[in-house]
Structure 1
Amino acid sequence: MPRLTIVANIHAKPDQVDLVKAELKKLIPITRGEKGCINYDLHQDTSNPAHFVFYENWESRDLWQAHMNAEHLQAYAAATAGKVDEFVLNEMTQIE
């Protein structure tokens, strides 16, 4: 089975960029140590600092689902509740 690629687009409220960025950065070392995580890379749009993108690769969808249910993701959601305008997540499979 091919690995799972996740592209997550997070748009912070304009007055919450620093807080959302700090909370997103907290996820990186914990997630990179999780079983099945191949890479977990955070990006910030250079022309729109409120737009963040996580580019992730996982060994399987089951392992990614375990990540999505992890305590640190729940803590992130609580810390950023009402501070994010939009969150769009795409599950993708590499073709070549």
Structure 2
Amino acid sequence: MITVIAEIKAKPGQRETVLKAIEKLIPAVLAEEGCGGYQPMVDVNTQAPWQTLSPDSVFMLEKWQSQAHLEKHLQMDHMHKHRETIKDCVLGTTIYVLDNA
């Protein structure tokens, strides 16, 4: 199982719009073969001096059985439609694909 952490950098004031679009997408993604989890997350302001805050970002925590499943996910029709839906709300995305050390 691989883990994906994706930071979706929304334009200022657009994070809620992106989150609502993701919430609509979740059932379709969870139904995909090889998906072991698909959870949007946002940072919490803890006032810890070492914390980095990203108030306009959504972080996706994803689990996939394999790289092949992840690649298939990225090509699904619902993903193409989702990217089209949020494209004007997003500045960019940073994606990490991780495995257990």
Instruction: Please tell me the TM-score bracket, short chain as reference.
Output: 0.7 to 0.9
Map 1:1-96 → 2, pairs under 5 A: 3-47=1-45, 48-95=54-101
Q: Secondary structure of 2:14's partner?
A: helix
Look up the SS of the partner of 1:81 in the other structure. helix
| Contact residue 8 and residue 58 of structure 2 kept, 8 A | yes
Could you tell me how far apart the structure 2 residues matched to 1:50 and 1:29 are?
24
**1:47-77 C-alpha deviation (Å, 9 max, x unpaired):** 4442111111111110111110001110111
- Give 4+ residue runs of structure 1 displaced > 6 Å after superposition: none
TM-score by length of 1: 0.87
Q: Is the 8 A contact 2:6 2:94 kept in 1?
A: yes
Amino acid at match of 1:35: E
SS at match of 2:44: coil
Paired AA for residue 31 in structure 2: G
Shift of 1:19: 1.6
Residue type at the aligned position of 1:4:
I
Distance 1:57 1:15 in 2: 28
1:88 aligns to what SS in structure 2? strand
Measured in 2, the distance between the counterparts of 1:9 and 1:17 equals: 12
- Counterpart CA distance in 2 for 1:54 and 1:14 is 18
- How many residues in Structure 1 have an aligned counterpart in Structure 2? 93
Tell me the CA shift for residue 29 of structure 1. Answer: 1.1
Task: Specify the code of the residue in structure 2 equivalent to 1:5.
Answer: T
Residue type of the alignment partner of 2:70 = W
Q: CA RMSD in A?
A: 1.3
